[in-house]
Amino acid sequence: MRSLVTPDAPITRAGFADIYASTGAGIPQSGNFIEWLETSWKKLSEGLSRYVLLSSVDTDGNPVSHLTTRRAGTVIVRDVGRGPERFELTNVRLRDGSFVAEPMDRYA
């Protein structure tokens, strides 16, 4: 990453300042992207959870995942190749630390 970003790259590029501000923490008005990334990514990532959409695979056969700040009980809509489907985020944790998102309409 360091080789791709110049030392004077502003932290406001690509909305990163807005994302960081959504955590409730202050963000300096000046600084650069690499400094921000190195010091702030851990705090940002602690607010995110990865959910695996149960019985859903992408075109390469890999499980479909969903990264979100939402918690168990939330219903999301994703298109996993059969049109829009509803999935409920659960608190069931998998071995890799991700959580299960259960399809709601397949069992009706």
Exposure pattern of 48-82 as b/e (b: 16+ CB <10 Å)?
ebebbbbebeeeeeeebebebeeeeeeebebebee
Q: How far apart are CA 92 and CA 49, in angstroms?
A: 12
pLDDT digits (tens, 9 = 90+) for 41-92: 667 777 789 999 999 988 889 999 998 888 899 999 999 888 899 999 999 9
**Averaged pLDDT score across all residues of the chain:** 77
pLDDT for the residue 2: 53
pTM of the model: 0.61
Domain ranges of the chain: 13-46, 49-103
